[in-house]
């Protein structure tokens, strides 16, 4: 017989969103203590916004890691398991270990899943020969290594044709790199390109207007409607699809920071 558990509120995902929601709820009502559960299979919590600073050389990645259990608010249960199925008509969900969890209210805060296979060659190329990415605890050090050792040439920073965890993060690392290149006296020997699948630099017009001034001031070339589809590490070439024309174009790089495509976690999809 399947194990069963019941809570007033169940939160799926123990990232910053899930933990913050749980903390606010349990503070708002003493009656909810013991009636809230967070479900997540991970044992570590990573404060991912810090990875931009790690990639820019301003923080250590170890500072972003905590034991997940140490961050769960008092009065909230942590279920160390993975959700495999939602059953909204029954107000229940099923976990990988076979537990049926019922609830009055469900908060889905599972975030986005990085699709390393979404760009041909990315999984094998990242962390080597000028290809880097802030989007993993295991690859973020490669960003700072590449920025620190950059001696000039072409540095490309990408934004994929998908939702991303933070709309500004693909640009933040570019601005940090620009700053370091100037301090290390290689900026005047460098071409910087922001190759984005989006049609503008930012979705919100107010911020787009401001950021367009920033890239002009910093002499960063913008290429919109360009979606990275393949990396050719042997020749240091990046293949982009022009989303307006459907044509493909190749850009040579010396440094390539990739914001990988992201998608809904498979159990939600």
**Range of the structural domain that residue 74 is part of:** 4-108
Instruction: Let me know whether 149 and 67 are in one domain.
Output: no
Pairwise CA distance, residues 168 & 36, whole Å: 32
Residue 269 belongs to some domain of the structure:
no
Residues 96, 167: one domain? no
> Do the bridges between strand 262-263 and strand 113-114 make them parallel or antiparallel, or are there none, so unpaired?
antiparallel
Per-residue pLDDT of the chain (269 residues; tens, 9 = 90+): 679 999 999 999 999 999 999 999 999 998 999 999 999 999 999 999 999 999 999 999 999 999 999 999 999 999 999 999 999 999 999 999 999 999 999 999 999 999 999 999 999 999 999 999 999 999 999 999 999 999 999 999 999 999 999 999 999 999 999 999 999 999 999 999 999 999 999 999 999 999 999 999 999 999 999 999 999 999 999 999 999 999 999 999 999 999 999 999 988 88
pTM of the model: 0.93
Write the CB contacts of 265 (distance below 8 Å, at least 6 apart in sequence). 110, 111, 112, 113
With beta carbons less than 8 A apart as the criterion, state whether 102 and 91 touch.
yes
Domain-embedded: residue 268? no
13 lies in some domain: yes
């Amino acid at each position: 017989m399947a194990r069963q558990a019941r809570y007033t509120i169940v939160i799926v995902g123990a990232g910053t969103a899930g933990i913050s929601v749980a903390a606010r709820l349990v503070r708002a009502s003493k009656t909810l203590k013991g009636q809230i559960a967070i479900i997540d299979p991970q044992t570590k919590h990573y404060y991912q916004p810090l990875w931009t600073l790690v990639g820019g050389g301003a923080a250590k990645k170890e500072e972003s890691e905590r034991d997940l259990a140490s961050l769960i608010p008092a009065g909230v249960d942590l279920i160390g398991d993975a959700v495999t199925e939602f059953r909204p008509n029954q107000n229940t969900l099923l976990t990988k270990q076979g537990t049926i969890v019922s609830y009055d209210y469900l908060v889905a805060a599972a975030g986005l899943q990085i699709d390393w296979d979404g760009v041909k060659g990315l999984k094998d190329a990242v962390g080597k020969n000028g290809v880097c990415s802030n989007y993993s605890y295991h690859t973020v050090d490669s960003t700072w290594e590449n920025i620190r050792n950059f001696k000039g040439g072409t540095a490309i920073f990408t934004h994929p044709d998908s939702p991303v965890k933070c709309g500004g993060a693909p640009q933040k690392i570019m601005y940090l790199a620009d700053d370091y290149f100037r301090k290390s006296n290689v900026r005047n020997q460098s071409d910087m390109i922001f190759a984005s699948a989006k049609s503008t630099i930012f979705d919100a017009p107010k911020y787009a207007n401001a950021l367009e001034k920033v890239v002009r001031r910093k002499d960063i070339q913008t290429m919109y409607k360009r979606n990275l589809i393949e990396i050719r590490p042997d020749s240091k070439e990046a293949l982009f699809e022009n989303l307006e024309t459907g044509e493909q174009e190749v850009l040579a790089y010396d440094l390539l920071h990739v914001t990988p495509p992201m998608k809904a976690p498979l159990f939600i999809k």
